[in-house]
Amino acid sequence: MAGIGIAGGPLAELAREPAAWRWLRTAAWGFARVFSIFALALAWEVAARSGAFTPYMLPALSAVLERIWHDLIAGDLLLNTGVTLYRALSGFVIGALAGIALGMGISRNRLINWFFDPIISVGFPMPKIAFLPIVILWLGVYDLSKITMIAVEAIFPVVTATVVGIRGVERELLWSARNMGAGERELLWQIAVPAALPQVITGLQVALPIALIVAVVTEMFMGGYGLGGAMNTASRFADSRGVFAGILEIAVIGYALVKAMTLIRRRLLLWHQEAVAPSTV
């Protein structure tokens, strides 16, 4: 245990380090993590102002940020963002709940597995967005059709992750629980589901960005309010700043959703090995 105690180990050196140095080191590491983003933004601004591209082909980043600020002041940004998030999250929740329930059924019931396994195997690699024209014919071009497409796209990674997670539960855990008198319901809810939770959350982390992507694509295809619809309108009127503003807005929202899911994962898996294991970074 040498070198761990406060008296002469690394913790003592860290405690003796001035607070200003610790702040600078933390700030340096934080900047290093986003350096590539700043480099890309700088390259974008330089390329746009170099004269190699017309403002129509590549507007300057500063001009795009100005457009985003104008949309924020006018209220268009909040409206379109709210509509897109409503559709994306609604479809994601529906797909997540249905996917978890179906995955549990497939992993625990032979009849359900016999019926749905071929459908999942064929449908998972298939681009479900190809059904969009049919969904429009059946459900129209409003929220119902968009949320339906999002839910259909989101359900497949959740189903797959749930099945893999539950089937991967250690047999020893199940045998021990059965020996202690646990029934099938207790085995599922008290053993299998908690043990499979990391894989299930991984499926949710995959499905959430897919939900946002499909929301934007359906809005582009069907029009109306939303970030995708705003980008489509800007493109029709040759408003390149509006198109690039939409790209930036979607990127920021997608990053925020991914980080939120990461925080939720950490919160839900405080008991899991991945949370209690010492970090090697």
**Domain locations in the chain?**
10-49, 61-276
State the CB neighbour count (10 A cutoff) for residue 170. Answer: 10
Compute φ and ψ for 109, nearest 5 degrees.
-130, 125
23 vs 154: CA distance, rounded Å: 41
Q: How many residues does the chain have?
A: 281
Q: Report d(CA 214, CA 130) in Å as an integer.
A: 11
Percentage of the chain beyond pLDDT 90 is 48
Question: Torsion over CA of 115, 195, 257 and 90, rounded to 10 degrees?
Answer: 40
Average pLDDT estimate for 7-32: 64
pLDDT tens profile 67-88? 999 999 999 999 999 999 999 9
Cβ neighbour number for residue 20 with a 10 Å cutoff: 8
pLDDT band at 203 (very low <50, low <70, confident <90, very high): very high
**Are 280 and 231 spatial neighbours (Cβ–Cβ below 8 Å)?**
no
Q: Considering the chain, what is the average pLDDT of its residues?
A: 84
Could you tell me what percentage of the chain is helix, strand and coil, using 3-state DSSP and rounding each to the nearest 5?
A: 80, 0, 20
Q: Could you give the CA distance from residue 244 to residue 221 in angstroms, rounded to a whole number?
A: 18
d(CA 82, CA 68): 15
Closest Cα partner for 226 from 249, 258, 256?
Answer: 249
- Contact partners, residue 274, CB within 8 Å, separation at least 6: 198
Q: Is the pLDDT of residue 195 over 90?
A: no
What is the reported pLDDT for 258?
A: 93
Q: Measured between alpha carbons, how far is 225 from 83 in angstroms, rounded to an integer?
A: 7
Concatenated DSSP letters for 195-233? HHHHHHHHHHHHHHHHHHHHHHHHHHHH-SSSHHHHHHH
CB neighbours of residue 28 within 10 Å: 10
Residue 60: how many other CB atoms lie within 10 Å: 18
| Whole-structure pTM value | 0.82
Q: How far apart are CA 149 and CA 231, in angstroms?
A: 20
**Radius of gyration, alpha carbons of the chain:** 24
pLDDT by residue (tens digit) across 43-64?
989 998 888 888 889 999 999 9
Given pLDDT bands bounded at 50, 70 and 90, which one contains residue 257? very high
3-state secondary structure of 267: helix
**What CATH number labels 61-276?**
1.10.3720.10
